[in-house]
Structure 1
Amino acid sequence: MISPALAHIPALLAPERLPQYAPLAVQTRDGLVESVHYGSVIATAADGRTLLAAGEPLAPFYPRSALKPLQAVAMVRAGLDLPDELLALAAASHSGAAIHREGSRRILDLHGLTPRVLENSTDLPYGAREREKWLRDGGQATQLAQNCSGKHAAMAATCVINGWPVQGYLDPAHPLQQLVARTVTDLTGEEPERTSTDGCGTPLFALTLRGMARAFGKLAAEAEAGDGAEACVARAMRRRPEMVAGEDRDVTALMRLVPGLLAKDGFEGVQLVGLPDGRAVAVKISDGGDRARMPVTVRVLAALDVDTSPLARIAAAPVLGGGRPVGLLQATEFLAAPDARNDSDAPDAL
């Protein structure tokens, strides 16, 4: 019997309506396949054409925290003006280190606010090392430690700048969230298929991998020569990747190791990448697991002729047995020209 607390949740999709995911990554142990990660992926050109795809990249999905750079663009369009390290934090899923918590507090201080105005959920620091230190020091779950605190501090600050009510800034009808919704549509070229609520409480839009890739391609290209909100956000993220994620995070490593690359991850196996020439990559791992996200992303970047030699450490992961390598987690050979089901354009095969 379904719990009354879950009664409002829609029934599961019928099997015939599930997205047609493709096997994107495989883990082997002593030559035997142990696990397979399915999902969808797309790479787009600067003009939005599909360059390659696997799975069903036009199936609506929730980008989760990969939306944060787009939300940050909306805030900059509304007058938010922050130094690079704090603007990068506004687009972050940070690890909860002291630099992140203090940065969120700085955003609030600059606009006459205190952490009391934050409406995000409480949590422990996201990073493993940061969480362990926090707990050793007697820390508890707080809104500043939660990985979205930079975004929420920036949202409250944007309300102050525009004379909007700070209380209730997460309401979809609030002027801030209406602006975010318009900005997401503008950057992705899509109307959301539906709207939900993210884990931190922010309105969340169902989009396609193609739409999200287009948005990241725009941001990354604007960072090269633009002077608008897209350029400001993208440049801040590229200059201060440790604020976007944190030390020991693969997204930080990716932006440090590939010049000009813009990257943002999201819960439930989401990865977005924008390249300086406007090309972009979007990945969704169907089981929501995190470990397959980066090997698949690096595989697509290699197919786009990006030099991925510096990324060997995050392109595959050893499988250990008794403390020694006995297998490997790596991307499959999933790349092929997308079929008509996935894209109405005339895609170019690699």
Structure 2
Amino acid sequence: MYTSSLADAPAIREPQHAPVAHLVRGGVTEGVHHGSVVVLDTDGRVGLRLGDIEAAFYPRSALKPVQAVAMVRAGLPLDGELLSLAAASHSGEERHLAGTRRILELAGLTEDDLRNVPDLPFGPAVRDAWVREGRPPGRLAQNCSGKHAAMLYTCRLNGWPLDSYLDPEHPLQQAIAEIVEDLTGQRIARVTVDGCGAPLFSVSLHGLARAAARITTAAPGTPEARLADAVRRHPELASGSGRDVAALMRAVPGLLAKDGFEGVEVAALPDGRAIAVKIADGADRARVPVAAAALAHAGVDPALLTEFAGEPLLGGGVPVGRVRPVRSLTPTSWPACA
């Protein structure tokens, strides 16, 4: 049942994004990335806002931890690597494929029961090897297959229909929608279809940050804490080797972080500090340094974040600049632009 204490759904409007990062080359601003950023303090209050943090938007895969919590609340018995994989946008490495097969085996199902779209692996090196070997796109290789396998397992445990598990009216998706609203603290603005075929719920950037904070501050043993522990202990299962979001969790003790397509990132610490970022043009080159700068603004030691300050821009093979967060986000210790 939905609670009466939920805030209204965020307004569906053109977001009033603001500049969040500058592309600086040779001391000249060559480009500007717009977006929105929210930083929450330990008490849940907004410590920083840039752009439009209350407009409806799609978190894309950054919502997967919330979806995984909903499945655990519905009885999904996974922990550790397999629970991390249930919240993954994985690279398609063999460990991801093997883990997804294991979840399906536990449910008494096979790859043929998946309803996500067939695709090549998301990780560039894995994808290149896949193509060289002449392997076609597959449902197991698609980056959301762990989530879909977990959805099927949850359905099997609850006696819910399997073939229609992606229908927004399906009991599984209704259960997920309820937890999305519970953890974000607001009603869903709109439901559409994500790239993998699963329902996608529109909330606000502020709501996404609240949900992450709710997960990381939950009591030990709760579905939220189980999910946070699994992803933090096995970040490469939720992403892949060399992925920035896994490296960020390795670098910052206790951090839970998840990225999403179209320039989305959310992260939260065990004390409730949280950040959420949306880059308007979807550029990862801005997402990574802006998210890192937001974490520094939240109080994370900037020395832990220098790896995520943005790749240098090269001119003739020599660094001549970088993507730099705007001044209101940038710590004094951030690498200088050329």
Q: Same fold (TM over 0.5)?
A: yes
Q: Is the 8 A contact 1:22 1:334 kept in 2?
A: no
Alignment of 1:141-290 (within 5 A): 141-222=137-218, 225-290=219-284
**1:77-117 per-position Cα deviation (integer Å, ceiling 9, x unaligned):** 11111131010000000011111111111100111100011
Q: Is the 8 A contact 2:79 2:227 kept in 1?
A: no
**1:123-150 per-position Cα deviation (integer Å, ceiling 9, x unaligned):** 1111111111111222221111000000
Q: Which residue of 1 aligns with 2:67?
A: 71
Q: Is the 8 A contact 1:46 1:214 kept in 2?
A: no
SS, match of residue 276 in structure 2: strand
| 5+ long unaligned stretches in structure 2 | 1-12, 331-338
Q: Is the 8 A contact 1:316 1:331 kept in 2?
A: no
| 5+ long unaligned stretches in structure 1 | 1-16, 337-350
Deviates more, 1:206-215 or 1:46-55: 46-55
CA positional deviation for 1:266: 0.4
**1:294-349 per-position Cα deviation (integer Å, ceiling 9, x unaligned):** 1011111111221131321211210012222111112111349xxxxxxxxxxxxx
TM-score, normalising length from structure 2?
Answer: 0.92
Alignment of 1:276-315 (within 5 A): 276-315=270-309
Cα distance in 2, alignment partners of residues 322 and 315 from structure 1 = 21
SS, match of residue 81 in structure 2: helix
Residue identity opposite 1:69 in structure 2: P
Deviates more, 1:79-88 or 1:233-242: 79-88
Cα distance in 2, alignment partners of residues 217 and 41 from structure 1 = 15
TM-score, normalising length from structure 1?
Answer: 0.89
Aligned: 1:37 with 2:33: yes
Residue identity opposite 1:324 in structure 2: V
Q: Which residue of 2 aligns with 1:344?
A: none
Q: Which residue of 2 aligns with 1:50?
A: 46
Deviates more, 1:125-134 or 1:27-36: 27-36
SS, match of residue 145 in structure 1: coil
Aligned: 1:334 with 2:328: yes
Deviates more, 1:320-329 or 1:212-221: 320-329
Output the aligned Cα RMSD: 1.3
Cα distance in 2, alignment partners of residues 187 and 83 from structure 1 = 20
Cα distance in 2, alignment partners of residues 311 and 184 from structure 1 = 30
Cα distance in 2, alignment partners of residues 309 and 297 from structure 1 = 15
Q: Is the 8 A contact 1:23 1:334 kept in 2?
A: no
Runs of 4 or more consecutive aligned structure 1 residues displaced over 2 Å after TM superposition: 45-48
Q: Is the 8 A contact 1:317 1:330 kept in 2?
A: no
Q: Which residue of 2 aligns with 1:320?
A: 314
Count of residue pairs the alignment pairs up: 318
CA positional deviation for 1:25: 0.9
Aligned: 1:59 with 2:76: no
Aligned: 1:98 with 2:57: no
SS, match of residue 153 in structure 1: helix
CA positional deviation for 1:46: 3.8
Cα distance in 1, alignment partners of residues 136 and 198 from structure 2 = 22
Q: Is the 8 A contact 1:37 1:286 kept in 2?
A: yes
Residue identity opposite 1:72 in structure 2: A
Deviates more, 1:135-144 or 1:239-248: 135-144
SS, match of residue 243 in structure 1: coil
